[in-house]
């Protein structure tokens, strides 16, 4: 992982990305990843990050990261696209 981070930092520097923009983009992506892992639950995400939920909410607003964007990523597929597990009983009656 350290090597991948080194490569990313080198690419960001060589493309002329300013420090503030790099930090902002890192924070946004990191928070998005934690929120997706917690299925959009801000309380659980904040606990994992070690910050207060209000701080997470404020930081999301500052970064322009919306909860709707996160929820769209973790949204369940339509019923027609979900895998079927188990056998569906049809015409079963107790008698």
Domain boundaries, given as residue ranges, for the chain: 18-75
pLDDT in tens, 59-94: 999 999 999 988 888 776 667 766 776 655 555 555
What's the pTM? 0.72
What is the CATH code of the structural domain delimited by 18-75? 1.10.10
Q: How confident is residue 20, by pLDDT bands cut at 50, 70 and 90?
A: very high
The per-residue pLDDT for 74 is: 79
What is the C-alpha to C-alpha distance for residues 73 and 36, in angstroms, rounded to an integer?
Answer: 7
């Amino acid at each position: 992982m350290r090597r991948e981070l080194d490569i990313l930092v080198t690419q960001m520097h060589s493309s002329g990305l300013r420090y503030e923009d790099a930090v902002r983009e890192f924070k946004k992506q990191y928070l998005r990843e934690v929120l997706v892992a917690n299925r959009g639950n801000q309380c659980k995400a904040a606990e994992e990050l070690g910050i207060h939920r209000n701080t997470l909410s404020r930081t999301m607003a500052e970064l322009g990261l919306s909860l709707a964007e996160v929820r769209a990523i973790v949204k369940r597929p339509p019923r027609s696209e979900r895998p079927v597990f188990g056998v569906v009983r049809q015409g079963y009656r107790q008698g």
